[in-house]
Amino acid sequence: MAVLGKIIRERKDSINLRSGHVVGDIIIEKEYLQLRTYAMGDKERERGSKQNIQFTKDKAKELRDLLDVFLNQ
């Protein structure tokens, strides 16, 4: 498991959107939260090409604060 160590807020970059949707799932345990996303079109999560991010509670709080900034814009 690779736990997220630092979140850097980019202020001068842009997001390159691609059409389509990816599937994501979240696993919540006592000490960690894990977000997994799968390749576009892999609706059944069968291809094994997932990307994982594991959050400690402190990093999850930091992400929550950034989400609050995003949602309140």
19 pLDDT band, cuts 50/70/90, is confident
Structural domain span for residue 64? 24-71
Domain assignment present for 53: yes
Domain assignment present for 3: no
pLDDT at position 2 is 83
Residue-wise pLDDT tens digits, 23-64:
888 999 999 999 988 877 777 777 776 788 999 999 999 999
Output the pTM of the full model: 0.76
Domain assignment present for 40: yes
Whole-angstrom CA distances from 7 to 15, 17, 21, 61, 62 are 16, 21, 24, 11, 8
pLDDT at position 25 is 87
pLDDT at position 71 is 97
Q: What does the alpha-carbon distance between residue 7 and residue 13 come to, in Å, rounded to a whole number?
A: 15
What is the count of structural domains for the chain? Answer: 1
Which DSSP letter does residue 11 get? S
Query: Using CB atoms within 10 A of its CB, is residue 12 exposed (0-12), middle (13-18) or buried (19+)?
Result: exposed
